[in-house]
Structure 1
Amino acid sequence: MKLKKYLGKLWRADYPASLPGEAEASWERFAAKAFDNKPVKVFRMKPYWKHFAAAAAAVVLLVVSLQLVIDARSGPDFLSVENTGKTIRVVTLPDRSVISLLPGSRLQYAENFRQNRTLNLDGEAYFEVTKKEGAPFRVTSGRTTTTVLGTSFNVKSRVDGSTEVALYEGRVKMEVEGMEQDWKLSPGELFIFNGTGPEVVPFNTRRGGTPLYIDFEKAPLAEIAAYIKDVYGYTVTGDPAIFSERMTMRVRRNEPLDNILKTITDIYDMGSSTDTLRNKIELFIIRPSTKK
C-alpha cells in the first residue's frame, strides 16, 4: 500500500542514523498492529425498513382517524362574548334574554342557542331570562349548573372555583357536579358553593352577596370610590378632604358609570375628568368665581 510505504519512510527518517536496526524493528512492530491484513467483516442490515415504514403509516392513519373523531364530536360552533372594557356590557341573546356582563367576564353559547339554551360563564353576570316552554335555560359556571325557565338572577364565579347565584324573580334549580342532591331557590335566596359544601342564605344575612341594587347609607365617598374601582376598574383621585364626605345613594348593578359620577358631582357641586387611557377619574371642587 502506498500509505504504508510513505509512513514507513517517515518513521525511519525520524530515527538517528546510528540506529538503523532499532528503527526497522520499531516500524515492524507498529505496522503489524496498524496494518493488519485480516479480512474486514461486513455487516449487512436486515430489511427492518419495511417494519418502520409500516409503523409510520399506522401512525399517520391513527392521527387522521383521531382528527376525524374530534371533528365529528365537536358539535355546533360556539360563540364567545367577552367584556374587556371597564363598564358593564349588555348582551341580548337570540332568544331575547338579556345579560349584563361585568368587566373581565366571558360567556360562551352555541350558535343554535334557540334550541340549546345552555351557556358557560367565566366571571359575573346578571341574567333576565325569556321564558320558553320546553327549552330550559342553563348556565354552567365551574362545577355548578343553574337551570331556569324564566327568571332574573345573578351568577358570580371566582378564580378559586367558588360560585354564587342570587335569585331575584322566579325559581331556579341548582346542581353541583359530583353531587346527587339539587337545590331549588326562591326569590331573595343566595346559593353559595365554595368547593366543599353548598349553602343557601338570604341576601341580607351574608356580606358579599349580589343584590340587584347596591345601597350606600351615609357612606363616605371613599367607600363609593372603592366600589367604582372594583366594578368599573377606574381609580378615583382628588383632594383627600373630598373622600371624607358622606352620601346616601342607591346604585343599580348595571348602572352606567357616567350616571354615578353625575350624581356625585351634582350633590357636592364638584367637577370630574376621566382619563380612559390610564383608567383614572379625578374629582375636584368647583370654587365660585371671585370676580365682580
Structure 2
Amino acid sequence: MKRQSDHINDDLLVKYLLDIATPMEKAAVAEWLTEKEEHQRYFEHFRLIWTESKKLAAVSTVNENDAWSRFQQRVGTNENTARIVQLDTGINWKPLLRIAAVLIVLLGAAGFWYLSKTIGQPMIVSSGQQIKSETLPDGSQVTLNKQSTIEYAASFKKERSVKLEGEAFFNVAQDPGKPFILKVNDVTVRVLGTSFNVKSVNGKTEVIVETGAVEVSKNSNSVQLKQHEKAVVTSDQSAPSKQSNNDELYNYYRTQTFVCNNTPLWKLVEILNEAYGVNIVIADNNKRDLQINSTFTNSSLDSTLQVIGLTYEIEVEKKGSQIILK
C-alpha cells in the first residue's frame, strides 16, 4: 500500500480502524475522506485488505515482538501508550496493538492478494443524472454528460484504452509512447494528447476536436481531424465524414453556457431539450434553420426562451408537456 500524504498514511489508517487514533488524527482522516472520491475508494480497499489481513494474522509466523517494535517506531506508539489507553478505557489494548503490528507486516501480502483478485477488472464510471468528472490513471481528465458511462483499466500498460457510452469531453494527457484509444459503438478515436468531445446517441457518433488532432476510424476507413473540425458517422455508414465546425454549443454541459455561433434553431432546441429534460418543438418549419447568435450563461430555461422569443420574433407557447415555438 502507498503513502497517501504527509499525514494520512497506512499506519494512521490502521490506528483509525482500531479506534486508537487521537482526536486530531481522526479529524484529519475524516477530512481526507471527504476531499476526493479516490480517497474513499482507497479507504474501502484498505478496509477490505485489513479484513483479509486478520485472516492471515491468525496463521502468521511473523515474529510478533519484532513487528511490534517496528510498529512503535513508525507511529510513535510505545509500551506507555498501551498502558495509558488501558487506564482511560478499562480495556487492555496492548494485545490489539501487537496484532495491529503483525497486520501491518501482512498488509503488503494482503495488498498483493487484493490486487491479484482485482487485476483485469475494469473501472466503470457512470454519471447518472449528474454531470461527473473523472481522472484516468494517466492523468487524463474526463467530463461525463448525464446518462453516460466510461470503462477503463485500473492501470494503463501498452495503450490507454477507454470505452464510452453517451457523451464525454476528454482532455488527454500527452504520452507519445502510449496511444489513447477510445471505443464508442463501432467507432475508434485514436489520439496522443489533445482535447475533444464525443457524443453517441441513437446510433450516431460525433467527434469534435477542440485542441490537437485525432484520428477517427470505422472498419478500415479513417479521417484525420484538427481544431475546428468534426467527424460524424452513423451505424449504417461504413466511414466517418469530415466536416468543419465552428459551433461551441457542444460544451454546454461543461461550461453551463450555451454559445451559439450561427447555430440553427433546431440544434439549439435539441440541446435545450437534453439539458433541461423538456419537450420543445418547432411548429413553424420555416424557422427551423434560423441562425442563432447568442450566448446564454447560467440562464433558466424560461429566461433563455424569453430572449429567443424577443430577439428572433418567435412566439413561445406552453401546452401541456410541450413548449411550442412558432
Q: Which has the larger radius of gyration?
A: 1
Q: TM (normalized to structure 2)?
A: 0.44
Which structure is higher in strand share?
A: 1
Which structure is higher in helix share?
A: 2
Q: Relative CO higher for 1 or 2, CA cutoff 8 Å, sep ≥ 6? A: 1
